[in-house]
Amino acid sequence: MLRHTLIALAAASSFATPAFAHITARPDSGDANKYFQTAFTVPHGCGDGASTIAVRVQIPEGVFSVKPQFKPGWTVSTKNRKVDPPIKAHHGPDITETISEVEWRGGPLPDSQFDNFGLIVKLPATAQTLSFAVTQECDKGSVQWNEKPDGDHPAPTVRVLSGEQK
């Protein structure tokens, strides 16, 4: 009987998906040189029941148009970086500055609940994988989600697809 219970527990744990343990971007792929809407899912706090009070997303190089989602109960702030050389805009003046970081602060988001933090961005013109490093700040500590995909704290990624990859 004990053996059957242990086998059942082992089988059940093998179905656990590590994606739910990490911050992920969904959807996680989009067409090159197109506007793309994604959301970063925060599935839990920083450990020991800690609630999330801030989420900071670093915008990778090559992404020049960024618009964060409004979230009731959270304030949104951004940091900028210079674009050198400037980029020719389709309409309007050349792009000389772009958003380098978006921060949502507020909540709190309890450890027992999840939420999504959305962005609309214009993806680069070439196929590649973009890493969006995320800092999750909690009322007790913080977690840096900035490692490679096989790390303990992987950064969320978005695949930029060319026409041939569709």
The residues, ordered by sequence, that sit 6+ positions from 38 with a Cβ below 8 Å of its Cβ are 25, 26, 27, 28, 30, 118, 119, 121, 158
What's the token pair of residue 60?
């990778």
Could you tell me if 123 and 160 are in contact, meaning their C-beta atoms sit under 8 angstroms apart? yes
Compute the average pLDDT of residues 118-133. 96
Structural domains of the chain ordered from first start: 21-165 (2.60.40.2230)
Compute the average pLDDT of residues 73-92. 90
10 Å CB burial of residue 7 (0-12, 13-18, 19+) is exposed
The 10 Å Cβ neighbour count of residue 103 is: 18
pLDDT value at position 67?
Answer: 96
Judge if pTM exceeds 0.85: no
pLDDT value at position 163?
Answer: 66
The residues, ordered by sequence, that sit 6+ positions from 45 with a Cβ below 8 Å of its Cβ are 51, 52, 109, 110, 111, 138
pLDDT value at position 156?
Answer: 98
Compute the average pLDDT of residues 49-75. 96
Asked if pLDDT for residue 14 goes beyond 50, the answer is no
